[in-house]
Chain A
Amino acid sequence: MVKKDKNALLHDIQVYGFALVETNLFLDTHPGDPGALACYKKYNHLLTEAYAAYESQYGPLTVRGGTDDDCWSWVKGPWPWEYSANAAR
Chain B
Amino acid sequence: MNYNAENRTPRDRVSEALFSQIKDLPTQRYGIQKNTLSSAARPAAAMAGQSNPTQMFCPINRSKARTQRRNSACGGVQGEDKLAGLPLAMAYVPMQEWKNLYDLETGFGQGTLFEDLDFPFYPTSCPRKGCR
Contacts and interface: CB of A to CB of B under 8 A. Distances in A.
B112 A26 contact: no
A18 B105 CA distance: 10
A-side interface size class: 10 to 19
Contacts of A15: 104-105, 108
Interface in A1-42: 14-16, 18-19, 22-23, 26, 29-30, 33, 35-36, 39
B113 A33 contact: no
A15 B113 CA distance: 10
Interface string B36-79: 00000000000000000000000000000000000000000000
A22 B98 contact: no
A32 to B, nearest CB: 11
B96 A26 contact: yes
B112 to A, nearest CB: 7
A19 B107 CA distance: 8
Given A16-B104, A19-B104, A19-B107, A33 B114 contact: no
A33 B98 CA distance: 8
Contact of A23 (B95, B105, B108, B113): B113
Contacts of B96: 26, 29-30
Interface of B: 95-96, 98-99, 101, 104-105, 107-108, 112-114
17 contacts: A15-B104, A16-B104, A18-B104, A18-B107, A18-B108, A18-B113, A19-B104, A19-B107, A19-B108, A22-B107, A22-B113, A26-B98, A26-B114, A29-B95, A30-B96, A33-B98, A43-B104
